[in-house]
Structure 1
Amino acid sequence: MDRGKLIKILLITFAILTAASSISLFYAYQKPTYERQTIILGTYTHRAIYDYIAELKPNIIYNKTTLKPGEGTLYTAITTGINITFTYKFISSPSPETIGIALEEITAEIESPGKWTKPLHEDEVKELMNLEGSMNFTLKINCTAIRQLIDRIDKEIGTYSSSFNIRVKPRIRVDTIVAKRTVNETYTPELIVMFRAGTEKGNYISIEGLNQTKNKDITETREITYPEVEARRNMFSATTLTTAIGLAALIIAHLKIVGQQKSTERKSKELLKRIMEEYKDAIAEAVGSPPKTQTTIDVESLEDLTKIAQILAKPILRAKEDEEQIFYIIDGNMKYQYKIKA
């Protein structure tokens, strides 16, 4: 096979291989070699439950002197007090290995929205609200005593409070180990007792925050590696580099051959021009391709062909065939010829 054609075939082949490996390398780098995943090792929940029993004056609307959550509206006019119990639970999965729970403090405050706020420390809560117990505690809101305190504050600062709120804030400290992880945190489930006046429902007491939960996950971030992605990157990098080097070498070889061909063509044209000038009187143009003969003899030069023409007293004919020019002499069944690149 001609060397130039072989290099062209190899050039096309290596170009395709380089493009394919480059595309594969591009997609290999689109995939991560690692990723971080958050694993849930365990869960835990703070659960605070407030319950109450409201004490009522004898009344017609309910015809009983106590109300529990969901049994009816606590109308201010007939409610004398509210007995509140608090229960705290810590729930985890898996179960805690060790646990320590403590009620650090209980604070409260009475507020007249937009006017004033009266903080109550634990001793004041005990005195004013009959606070008893530690972790699971009870307290009683005496509606008459609370109203009297509010009236005194309003008188002192020159305001009037028809509506007011009582906020109770126990602060619970939890120190535990769950799923081999240490948990140290505080939880403050706030209860709000709201005394409302002048509404469409009339004057009544609303309680918010009876059931509260706070859920949390114990997590761990892990790094997962993908060695096969790194291996593909290395493989396609090596393949791309190899084929690119081969492609570059073939391009250089192809350019060299093209240069040589152009140089040969230039020399052939110069030689042909010189021959035509030198032997123009001995050469005649032929129409069509040289005829086929029984015997064909190729000679080394046009000078040799000219000598044969003189000996045989035959003309030299010139014909073009593909990329060659053929100078020939016909002598019966014999043909003498000299070929040169066109």
Structure 2
Amino acid sequence: MRETLDNVFKKYQKKFTIILLPVLVVAGVISVYTLMQPTTITNQVDNNVSHFQTSYDYKATITPNILYPTGGTIEVGDTMYKKITNAIPFTINSTINSENEVIAKGTHEFQLLIKAGDLWEKSFPLAEKQSFAKKGTAISIIDKSFKIDIEKVKTFILKVEEETGIRTEEYTIEIVPNIQGTIISGGIEKDIKMEDKLIFQYFYEEIKLATEKKFISTIPFTTTEISKNMFTFFGSELPLTPVRIISSVFSLLFILVIIYMNKNFWANRKKNVQSLAEKINKKYGKRMISVSQKVETSQKSIILLNSFKAIIQIADAKELPIFYYNMHLDESKLYFIIDGNYMYQYEINEIELARSRSRSRVKNNKNEAESDPAYALD
């Protein structure tokens, strides 16, 4: 059976190599790729999304003037004039809108904060802390109206400047909400915290809006799903683990086959080298002397010969013995003649073997002694 396999591999070695190498590359690439991929994929699934929105709406209460003879509370833009503005009434509306029903609970409170840059600040409560607990897809957390008394603000700032001597060109008036609580959806609980301020810049003659009037934040409710990773092959999705095992096994199998083929190839080369040496030893063994170590050549002139026939000719002409040395490390065979300070040598190596094999293919029908001049007698 072994001889049959060897013969098959020897006969179709080139075809096997051409077929196996691309398959090995493909299997190896798939194996490496699948080994680098996780066997499972973690996905975040959005079960529900809540939007927490807070909006402010303000107007100005003014005294009668040439522009507004009747005065009263009017719609204004981002700029108000201190001289004719008595108060800024405003409403705050805070809601939670969700795709699915949620439970919201917590507390809220509001403060009015007057600041003089980094010099000082003073807070005044607008509403005491209150709790809430509501359920639904559209929940109103706050819907309240407040008023900033500009006359009181002016009076307070003037008093601070008078008593402390601290004065700045710009003050700010801030509406500071403090909403804290939780939202529960599908058993998942998320914290909510809102501190989006409505800020006005308080100049000598003007009051200007310094922030947006609407604030929105998103609170997602997600769960983690773990699924098996798939390998896509020509449009088909295959489980990653079996693909990884099969491609790895095939890669290893193809590597072993290629190694086996090369092993036979080198064994054949070694066999051919040995058979050439055996033929020489068989024919001229009685004329050769085997030595166990290489002769010291530092004091001799070495003449390299390109055929064993030249060794025979020189030995016959000078009536000298032929020495034989087996170089075990590379399986080369060295034949040499010593003539005083001269050393004539011929070596059978892989290059000579390749030459011998090439000639043997061309001269298959000739006598083996005639096919290779490396050991021809005549």
TM range (shorter): 0.5 to 0.7
Counterpart of 1:254 in structure 2 is 265
Equivalent pair of 1:102/1:135 in contact (CA under 8 Å): no
Counterpart of 1:141 in structure 2 is 148
- The CA deviation string for residues 109-163 of structure 1, in whole angstroms up to 9 with x for no partner, is 21112432123346899xxxxxxxx943332222121111111111222112443
- The CA deviation string for residues 223-276 of structure 1, in whole angstroms up to 9 with x for no partner, is 3322522221111111111222222223222222222222222333455668x9
Equivalent pair of 1:265/1:341 in contact (CA under 8 Å): no
Aligned length: 274
SS of 2:112's partner is strand
Residue 86 in structure 1 maps to residue 92 in structure 2: yes
Equivalent pair of 1:41/1:218 in contact (CA under 8 Å): yes
* Residue of 207, 212, 218 corresponding to 1:205: 207
Larger relative contact order, structure 1 or 2 (CA cutoff 8 Å, min sep 6): 1
Q: How does 1:144-223 map to 2 (within 5 A)?
A: 144-197=151-204, 203-207=205-209, 208-223=211-226
Q: CA deviation at 1:92?
A: 1.2
Counterpart of 1:322 in structure 2 is 363
Residue 107 in structure 1 maps to residue 114 in structure 2: no
- The CA deviation string for residues 49-100 of structure 1, in whole angstroms up to 9 with x for no partner, is 222231111112244424544557411111111112222211111132x333
Structure 1 residues 124 and 53, CA gap change in structure 2 (3 angstroms): same
Q: CA deviation at 1:205?
A: 1.4
Tell which structure's C-alpha radius of gyration is larger: 1
| In 1: Cα distance, 2:169 partner to 2:278 partner | 116
Structure 1 residues 4 and 340, CA gap change in structure 2 (3 angstroms): farther
Q: CA deviation at 1:185?
A: 2.2
Structure 1 residues 69 and 32, CA gap change in structure 2 (3 angstroms): farther
SS of 2:27's partner is helix
**Which residue identity lines up with residue 206 of structure 2 in the other structure?**
Y
Structure 1 residues 66 and 29, CA gap change in structure 2 (3 angstroms): farther
Equivalent pair of 1:4/1:254 in contact (CA under 8 Å): no
Q: How does 1:263-282 map to 2 (within 5 A)?
A: 263-270=274-281
Residue 117 in structure 1 maps to residue 128 in structure 2: no
**Which residue identity lines up with residue 141 of structure 1 in the other structure?**
I
| TM-score for both structures, normalised by structure 1 | 0.67
SS of 1:214's partner is strand
Structure 1 residues 154 and 122, CA gap change in structure 2 (3 angstroms): same
* Residue of 239, 255, 264 corresponding to 1:244: 255
**Which residue identity lines up with residue 226 of structure 2 in the other structure?**
E
Counterpart of 1:60 in structure 2 is 66
- Runs (5+) with no aligned partner, structure 1: 126-133, 198-202, 278-319, 327-337
Equivalent pair of 2:110/2:127 in contact (CA under 8 Å): no
| In 2: Cα distance, 1:238 partner to 1:256 partner | 27
| TM-score for both structures, normalised by structure 2 | 0.62
* Residue of 48, 53, 71 corresponding to 1:47: 53
Equivalent pair of 1:51/1:69 in contact (CA under 8 Å): no
Q: Sequence identity, in percent?
A: 15
SS of 1:60's partner is coil
| In 2: Cα distance, 1:124 partner to 1:147 partner | 24
Equivalent pair of 1:33/1:225 in contact (CA under 8 Å): yes
Q: How does 1:295-334 map to 2 (within 5 A)?
A: 322=363, 325-326=366-367
Counterpart of 1:234 in structure 2 is 245
SS of 1:94's partner is strand
Equivalent pair of 2:39/2:228 in contact (CA under 8 Å): yes
| In 2: Cα distance, 1:66 partner to 1:210 partner | 23
Structure 1 residues 64 and 268, CA gap change in structure 2 (3 angstroms): farther
| In 2: Cα distance, 1:102 partner to 1:50 partner | 19
- Runs (5+) with no aligned partner, structure 2: 130-140, 231-238, 286-308, 313-359, 373-378
Q: CA deviation at 1:30?
A: 5.0
- The CA deviation string for residues 156-212 of structure 1, in whole angstroms up to 9 with x for no partner, is 221124431111212123333224422332222312132223xxxxx2212334322
Q: CA deviation at 1:22?
A: 2.2
**Which residue identity lines up with residue 121 of structure 2 in the other structure?**
T
Equivalent pair of 1:48/1:89 in contact (CA under 8 Å): yes
Structure 1 residues 123 and 35, CA gap change in structure 2 (3 angstroms): closer
* Residue of 13, 18, 33 corresponding to 2:16: 13
